[in-house]
Amino acid sequence: MPFTVVPTPIGNLGDITMRALEVLREADWIACEDTRHSKRLLDHYEIEGKLMALHDHNEEKQIPEMLAKMEKGESVALISDAGMPLVSDPGFRVLRAIREAGHEVTVLPGPSAPVTALVASGLPPYPHRFGGFLPVKKGKRGKELAAALARPETALYFESPHRLMSTLEILTELAPEQPIVVARELTKKFETIHAAPAKELYEHFRNHQAKGEIVLLFHPESPQ
């Protein structure tokens, strides 16, 4: 298993697979976004792996070191803070470089917040489009949401709890009766899935501050 992409739980630690645990226990190195965050998961399952940091700010610099380790026959498991690595997480540039160098790459199936939210939302599962994190700047966010409202497919986005009110305000201005789903803290103790017209969700979250990880979804052709 020279290089293996390993999904980790998006909230509930019990959601990790037996195969993922086996790979993490056998890997010579475990590349992760935040070594302190990942150590909590590894400690929970009594895994003593050698950790190396791989995040947005050092990914390019880590490629030569990663390739050098693999040239020596050492195996590397890639994990992110939660869910499937590369999906709005670092790792794409490393994986591409490893493939181009001729090394074997294996990807394990596992938890994914967008897929979990899509199934739980009750919205049409296909066609759908996952747009990652919505733009930080409000103007660009508005343009992205307007474009999504014009497409005949279910739209999925990650959103920060600090920007959710701003995003719901934009949606209320664009399409106040548009059904919106806000899936929050999926698989965790305080999981909530709110489904209502944009204007109602805007009013709700004005009085109930959103916390935790959020997936926002809507389908323009859903009944309004």
38-47 pLDDT tens trace: 999 999 999 9
ω into 127 cis (within 30 of 0): yes
Q: Name the residue among 159, 195, 187 with its Cα closest to residue 83.
A: 187
pLDDT in tens, 97-122: 999 999 999 999 999 999 999 999 99
Nearest to 171 by CA among 152, 148, 195: 148
For the chain, what are the domain ranges? 3-107, 113-218
Length of the chain: 224
Domain covering 3-107: architecture: 3-Layer(aba) Sandwich (3.40)
Question: What is the structure's pLDDT at 221?
Answer: 77
Two structure tokens written together for 54 = 């791989």
Query: pLDDT value at position 223?
Result: 52
68's enclosing H/E stretch is helix 59-71
Structure tokens at 35: 């070594």
Find residue 61's DSSP bridge partners.
Answer: none
The answer to whether residues 83 and 10 touch, using CB atoms and an 8 Å cutoff, is: yes
What pLDDT score does 224 carry? 47
Residues of the chain with confidence (pLDDT) below 70:
1, 222-224
Please state the pTM of the whole predicted model: 0.91
**CA-to-CA distance for 40 and 182, rounded, in angstroms?**
28
User: Thinking of the domain 113-218, which architecture would CATH place it in?
Assistant: 2-Layer Sandwich (3.30)
